[in-house]
Amino acid sequence: MAPHPATATDQPPGRFRSWLLEGLADMGKHQQGAGDAAEPEHRGQRWYRVMCLTGVDYFSTLGYQPGIAALAAGLLSPIATIVLVIVTLAGALPVYRRVSEESPHGAGSIAMLERLLSFWKGKLFVLTLLGFAATDFLITITLSAADASTHLVENPHFSSSLQGKQMLVTLLLVALLGAVFLKGFLEAIGVAVVLVGIYLLLNVVVVVDGLYHVLSAPHLVTDWTSGLTAERGNVAVMIGVSLLIFPKLALGMSGFETGVAVMPHVKGADTDTEAEPAGRIRGTKKLLTTAALIMSCFLITTSFITTVLIPKQEFQPGGQANGRALAYLAHQYLGSGFGTVYDLSTIAILWFAGASAMAGLLNLMPRYLPRYGMAPHWARAVRPMVLVFIIVAFLVTWIFDANVDKQGGAYATGVLVLMSSAAVAVTISARRSRDRRWTITFGIIALVFLYTTVVNVLERPDGVKIGACFIAGIVLISLLSRLARSFELRVTGVEMDAMATRFVRDIASRRIRFIANEPDNRDVAEYREKSHQIRFDNDLTPEDDVVFVEVTVRDASDFESAVAVRGEVMHGRYRVLTLEGTSVPNALAAMLLHVRDTTGGIPHIYFEWTEGGPFANFLRFFLFGHGEVAPVTREVLREAEPDPGRRPRVHVG
């Protein structure tokens, strides 16, 4: 069921609880129905402005990526970064350009896989991906806060008073983020544009100044190449080692999933429709390509100047360049004043990256879980979710000691799993489209990402451990929630064709009687014997008019759907209503209530007891929509209609 704002009638008593459970997130107001085409057709902003919204996440990685690359690759960092850029431009970029075509409403690769995979396997796969997405977003919050606190603690103006207090500063930044969302937060593209513009401009100054110092001292490059040759030998070995190191640098590819998530904000062409938003897709492709090119240029140049200009020991834990390599250069070569401005800009964009990640969490979970019937009731209100996410962020910060390097593996795992899922999704899509060339291309890219993910998990298992915890929590809470809502009437509407309407109208003048039948051969003997048995068990006379009702379950893993009712005459004498839904009891209950409301009469329905144990039959109902139909139908009716006098009658023989 879709989340709905709390009202004065359904809020629990008490001012605090009323405030805590108040409505949905403010940011949901500008993104309502992003996955179901609910936005006005041409609303949005220019793609380059929207690029800054994803850029607060993507570009902010410059705050720590050069330092992580230097720690992982040493003198090989620039070469390994070039390999990263090649994979970004030749792998991630084509994949997500295709994702933008296949999922133009911001639902991303998870929604693609949801469409491509059906039944419970699709739902469980999506829940697993949501676990890794939660890892990605939450580690974005904690890692960004940790790096922001590093810039603050290492700043010469604050180092004396804040030294040794990085954990406290990080927790305060995370708490401040939570406080903003508890108050209400609207993602402001304008703020993102300002932050990204200032941050990139400052980085251009640092890069140009760094290159100037490198060119002014040619021995620096000579020393670097000599050391690299002595350390790694020939170019082939360097490339091979770079490929092995590549998984550790995968953070430099973060931001693509966010790039497609912000698609609904991109202004399309005048000819766009929600079904075919060609202009929005073109704008998003420009967004992804431009962001990737900008980031690629910065990654290569920053890895080069930091490797050449910064002493190796400064990258180590406790060193002045650890987690803040570019800030180190800003202070070293451009002075304390400029360095402080750079630190403040970095802190602002890293904090805003955490805000973007929190908004992603709060928009992502309600997009899927409620539709699966797997959202606890408190998840309809955003503030409890914010508190849960902030508590988890506190725990993650404490576990990783507010250390950027320690969290890199977990962050990379979330990023790589989502990228791998996107590559797999576009490969399956291309194969179903019979596009052989792109199937092979995307298949190779998927193998590269899967290899990278596996290597990252083996070398740094923290990420998959955290991801597994999130997956286990999401699946457990989701299944318990769905179990608790098993008897909820989860039907969006009943649609009866002309023949079905005629059958109901014919029996409405008498007592309305239906016989529930599980279709088998659907031959004359089946209906004759069923009618005889029901009449015998319930003392019905041959004159009592009856209509058979049969339900076909489409996909029992779907929580709710409309029920389509079709009338037909079988073997020239038996009237049959054929229903299609996601659950037999729910479809029958919805049909009975619809008949009651349209005719004014109280319908009766007759069942036979189902063979087998009650527990096994309940599991069949929970997983496959069948099972012990009679008591479940009665329970669904009891919850849907509290007045026994108006409740359809259920008879079991």
Q: Return the pLDDT at 373.
A: 62
Tell me, what's the pLDDT at 400?
83
List the single range of 122-126, 344-348, 522-526, 642-646 with lowest mean pLDDT.
Answer: 122-126
pLDDT attached to residue 619: 54
Task: Work out the mean pLDDT of the chain and round it to a whole number.
Answer: 81
Buried b (16+ CB within 10 A) or exposed e, 110-137: bbbbbeebeeeebbbbbbbbbbbbbbbb
Mean pLDDT confidence for 567-586: 87
CA atoms within 13 A on the CB side of 521: 9
Q: Confirm if 642 and 597 have CB atoms less than 8 A apart.
A: no
What is the share, in percent, of the chain residues with pLDDT greater than 90? Answer: 22
pLDDT of residue 572: 86
Pick from 279, 265, 298, 263: which is nearest to 96 by CA?
263
Query: Which H or E run includes 651?
Result: strand 649-652
Mean of pLDDT values over 233-253: 79
What sign results for the dihedral spanned by CA atoms 105, 110, 116, 118?
negative
| More confident: 509 or 514 | 514
Residues 6+ apart with CB under 8 A from 278: 268, 269, 271, 272
d(CA 272, CA 278): 6
- Asked whether residue 10 carries a pLDDT value surpassing 50, the answer given is no
Give the mean model confidence (pLDDT) for residues 417-436.
Answer: 89
Q: What is the DSSP string of 532-600?
A: HHHHHHTT--TTS--EEEEEEES-TT---EEEEEEEEEETTTEEEEEEEES-HHHHHHHHHHHHHHHHS
pLDDT higher at 480 or 227: 227
What confidence category does residue 520 fall into, taking pLDDT thresholds of 50, 70 and 90?
confident
Mean pLDDT value across residues 69-90: 89
Burial class of residue 164 in the structure, from the number of CB atoms within 10 Å of its CB (0-12 exposed, 13-18 middle, 19+ buried): exposed
- The predicted-structure confidence for 100-148, as pLDDT tens digits, reads as follows 988 887 777 777 777 766 666 667 777 778 778 878 888 888 888 888 8
pLDDT in tens, 314-357: 888 878 888 789 999 999 999 989 999 998 998 888 888 887 77
CB-based contacts of 236-242 (< 8 A; 24+ apart in sequence): 238/76, 238/79, 239/79, 239/83, 241/73, 241/76, 241/80, 242/73, 242/76, 242/79, 242/80, 242/82, 242/83
For the full predicted model, state whether its pTM sits above 0.95: no
Q: pLDDT tier at 209 (50, 70, 90 boundaries)?
A: very high
pLDDT at 185 over 60: no
Confidence of residue 624 (pLDDT cuts 50, 70, 90): very low
Split at pLDDT 50, 70, 90, the class of 417 is confident
Distance (Å, whole) CA 550 – CA 586: 12
Three-state SS at 492: strand
Supply the pLDDT for residue 186.
Answer: 53
Q: Rounded to whole angstroms, how far apart are CA atoms 333 and 342?
A: 12
pLDDT at 376: 56
pLDDT of 303 reads 93
Nearest Cα residue to 331 out of 322, 340, 319: 340
Residue 492: phi and psi, rounded to 5, are -85, -15
Half-sphere exposure of 454 (CA within 13 A, CB side): 6
| pLDDT (tens digit per residue) in 16-41 | 666 666 654 444 443 334 344 434 44
Residue reference for tokens 């007045």:
643
Determine the residue type at 20.
L
Q: Does the pLDDT value for residue 200 go beyond 90?
A: yes
